[in-house]
Amino acid sequence: MMHNHENAPHLHEQHFNTPVQDYAPEVKQLVLEYTLQLADTSFILGHRLSEWCGHGPVLEQDMALSNIALDLIGETRSLYQYAAELEGKGRTEDDMAYLRDTVEYKNPLLVEQPNGDFGDTIMRQFIFDSFHFFFLKELQNSTDHRLAAIAEKSLKESSYHIKWSSEWVIRLGDGTEESRKRIEKAIDNLWPFSGELFMMTATEKKLLEHGVIPDYSQIKNSWDAHVAKVFQEATLAVPQNVWMQSGGKEGRHTEHLGFVLTELQYLQRTYPGLEW
């Protein structure tokens, strides 16, 4: 087969060997929306963690934060690539990340919250990891083959993340007076964003019926048990009866997301189509 320069593949070009399933158009649209929501979630959190690069409290933790950021961005790429294939309009993973606006982003509010101090970052990560880990375990059984494969891959990485953030919650909670004060403040700041992870949107409810996604109420049970265990060891109290914020999964965001996107989309917005 001859290639001329224009249609020769990029040297690193790769094709996923799990083709898009034969979905009815309306189901396909739901899977697309949901895949974007998952991608947005890992992407925004991965970006937030990457803001720590070079600023970590000690070198080992700087590297841990960057490693976790990298795992999340890796998961994001698989998801955006899948979304681009599902959509089938020639958009790429980069278009999904760099050319969609705030209202199109469907990540839960938790992951766009600012890094704050190390306590805030640890608590945001702990709340997320404790969800993500049990969620991926269930998503492996999805009737969508690609989502199941991505979950299987990311779960292995997530098991390192949840260990790391859980150990830090214990260390900060059962540490010095100062570390305890900080982590308690972080719990107050971030707990109102934990509930949205388990609230099912209309899209999610329909996908649950199709067997594409797991029932979040079961994941909530695993989350509650894990949080209780870690908090007990950390001598921290699990907040009760907290008013839960929501809206991110439906595109209604806190003021922070706009600033995140402004920074990370700057180059593609200013120099459209720019490549390394």
Candidates 7-15, 31-39, 177-185, 208-216; binding stretch for other proteins (CB under 8 A): 7-15
Among 61, 115, 189, 268, binds other proteins (CB under 8 A): 61
Cβ 275 to other proteins shortest distance, Å? 13
Cβ 107 to other proteins shortest distance, Å? 18
Q: Which two tokens stand for residue 195?
A: 């509930």
Alpha-carbon distance of 113 to 260, in angstroms, equals 10
Inter-residue long-range contacts of 48-52, CB under 8 Å, 24+ positions, other chains counted: 48/111, 48/112, 48/113, 48/114, 48/115, 48/121, 48/124, 48/260, 49/121, 49/125, 51/115, 52/115, 52/121
Cβ 22 to other proteins shortest distance, Å? 19
- For residue 256, state whether it binds other proteins (rule: CB under 8 A): no
- For residue 201, state whether it binds other proteins (rule: CB under 8 A): no
Which residues from 136-175 bind other proteins, rule CB under 8 A? 137, 145-146, 148-150, 152-157, 159-160, 162-164, 166-167
Torsion sign over Cα 72, 66, 224, 238: negative
- For residue 63, state whether it binds other proteins (rule: CB under 8 A): yes
Cβ 126 to other proteins shortest distance, Å? 12
Q: Which amino acid is at 49?
A: L
Cβ 12 to other proteins shortest distance, Å? 4
What does DSSP assign to residue 57? Answer: S
- CA 227, distance to chain mean position in Å, is 19
Alpha-carbon distance of 85 to 76, in angstroms, equals 14
Q: Which residues contact other proteins by CB under 8 A?
A: 1, 11-18, 60-61, 63-64, 66-68, 70-75, 77-78, 137, 145-146, 148-150, 152-157, 159-160, 162-164, 166-167, 226
